[in-house]
Every structure is written in C-alpha cells, then in structure tokens.
Amino acid sequence: MTNGKTEGVAGDVFRPGPEQNPRSREETYKRLHYYAARLALAVSDHLQDALINLRRKAYGLTDPELKKLALKGYSDEEYVTAVKEILCIWLHLEAVEQGGEEMPRWLLSFLRLTFGATDYIINEPKALDVVHSYEPSDDLNTLCQQTSLRACRALGFGDAANQFVPAILPVLMQTTSVRHQILERALVTPLERIEAQVA
C-alpha cells in the first residue's frame, strides 16, 4: 500500500474544511453510509464499462483462448469480489490524496469508518484483508497495476490475468475526479437530501 506521499496523484483534490465536519454521530453515519454506497455503485459502473469495452475488443484478438476469456460471463461472486478489491483501493487512494495521517482527524475517522462500512455492502473479502495483502509502495502506478491484476484474477481470467490488466486499469487511473466528486457530495449535500435518497 502507498504510505501517504504518492507520485502521480492529481493536484485538483476536493479538500473538506472544518465546515464539512458532520455535527453529530448520527450525521456522520448517515453521510458515510451514503458515501460508501455511492462509491460502490461508481466502482461497479466503471468496472462494467471496462468489461463491455473488453468484450467489444475481443473480436480483434487473434489468440482464441484470450478471445474466449474476453467474452466470458462473470458469476456474481467473481464480479462483487473484483468490485470490493477496487472499492478498497479507491478509498485508500482518497485517503492518500487527502494527506494520509496528516489530514484532519475528523476526516481520517470518517474515511476509516467508511472503509469498515464497505463490509456491509460487500461482505467478502473483508476490507482489512484486502489492504493487508498489499506490499508497501510509494508508486501509484504500481499499486493500480497490482489492483487491476487482482481484479482480473477475481474475475476468473486465471493464468491470462496479466493480459487483461490494461482493460481494468482505467477504473483506477482515470477516476480520480469521480472519487473526489463523490466525497464532496457526501459531505456537502444537505442532510435531508441524503436522507431522502436513502429512504
């Protein structure tokens, strides 16, 4: 995992101020559950788009085995495991971009609680198991490559997983602004609107 100072992180980051600090425990939990759910949906949407693009490009593959894999279906277990892998790393990247251990304590707590809440959305694998299985790294590209490979393995590409990493990589490398916008919405949207959306 990256340790707080990562090369390759975009400079245009939404920086929550003290005015975005939820005023109560109840508000904190409503906002973080909204945040976790929106992140999971966004990961799923971007992963689905990547897999649709992969399927489109499959017909141009000359290797019949790779073509067959590119056109394969995915079980629910394969798909949600890949989503959980990416979701955990999206949250990790957000924490790094917000300053890691140097971010305001309330925001660090918010992100940590959200991380734990992902286990209510997708029970397995456990979020802590996902992040603890990564080697320390200061390089964003290496982390995203590793996550893409792990997602490909989860999706059932087996020994050919390396061949499909470029198809999944944009879900990690080209979604920075998406992640920031979701965090901003979770912290800035009036609470009554969040309550109405989750009701």
Average pLDDT, the chain: 91
Which residue is associated with the tokens 């390759």? 8
pLDDT 10s digits, 70-95? 999 999 999 999 999 999 999 999 99
Q: Which has the higher per-residue pLDDT, 149 or 1?
A: 149
18: in domain: no
In a domain, 137, yes or no: yes
Residue 1 confidence class, pLDDT cut points 50, 70, 90: low
Q: How many distinct structural domains can be found in the chain?
A: 1
Instruction: Using pLDDT thresholds of 50, 70 and 90, give the confidence band for residue 174.
Output: very high
Q: What angle do CA 190, 40, 156 make, to 5 degrees?
A: 175
| Closest of 196, 22, 191 to residue 113, by C-alpha | 22
Is residue 17 one of the residues assigned to a domain?
Answer: no
pLDDT of residue 61: 87
Looking at the domain assignment, is residue 130 inside a domain?
yes
**Cα of 24 vs its chain's centroid, Å:** 27
Confidence of residue 199 (pLDDT cuts 50, 70, 90): low
Structural domain includes residue 16: no
How far, in Å, CA of 124 to CA of 84, rounded? 8
Its domain, for residue 163, covers 23-193
- Residues 6 or more apart whose Cβ sits within 8 Å of residue 76: none
- Per-residue model confidence (pLDDT) at position 10: 45
Instruction: Judge whether 199 lies within some domain.
Output: no
Please, which residues have CB within 8 angstroms of residue 133's CB and are 6 or more apart in sequence? none
Let me know if residue 51 belongs to a domain: yes
Q: Let me know if residue 180 belongs to a domain.
A: yes
